[in-house]
Structure 1
């Protein structure tokens, strides 16, 4: 079963771009949410993560703050 991945991003975020490239290179589908355009999504991101910075990545509803490859790979290996 493919993991459910959501990435909260902004257009100018370098690590957001790296995270998207990482998932694309592994052929993993993800939903991107631009919090600079969606205030409700930004509030949801802060509520889930306690962070205002991006990227915030959800993998099967587990929160990863920043582009933390080791944490991402650990969560992906569970599934």
Structure 2
């Protein structure tokens, strides 16, 4: 299973929803990077994604996008195959 990384903030409701969706999919070792408590990580996130909004989610090296993108992948039935690698 590929590493799943979530760039987010502690107060972001979409970050919590993304985390919950991933937990429901069996992801127990989610790598969470809090860009509000480590501003240097915000720069890393922007460099990797070109976006400033959170959450930003990676499955392996694949940039999924934000929560809406993650949920759309799930509805389309493509999230499980990404999570399987």
Bin of the TM-score, shorter chain as denominator length: 0.7 to 0.9
TM-score (norm 2): 0.80
| Equivalent position SS for 2:78 | helix
Q: Is the 8 A contact 1:10 1:36 kept in 2?
A: yes
Q: C-alpha deviations, 1:6-65, integer Å up to 9, x for none? A: 000101111100000011112212100100011121101000111110000011111122
Q: Name the count of aligned residue pairs.
A: 78
If each structure's helix is expressed as a fraction of its own residues, which one has the higher value? 2
Whole-Å separation in 2 of the counterparts to 1:59 and 1:22: 13
Runs of 4+ with >4 A deviation = none
Aligned Cα RMSD in Å?
1.6
Q: Is the 8 A contact 1:59 1:76 kept in 2?
A: no
TM-score (norm 1): 0.86
**Are the structure 2 counterparts of residues 48 and 71 from structure 1 closer, same or farther at C-alpha, using a change threshold of 3 Å?**
farther
Q: Does the alignment pair 1:18 with 2:22? A: no
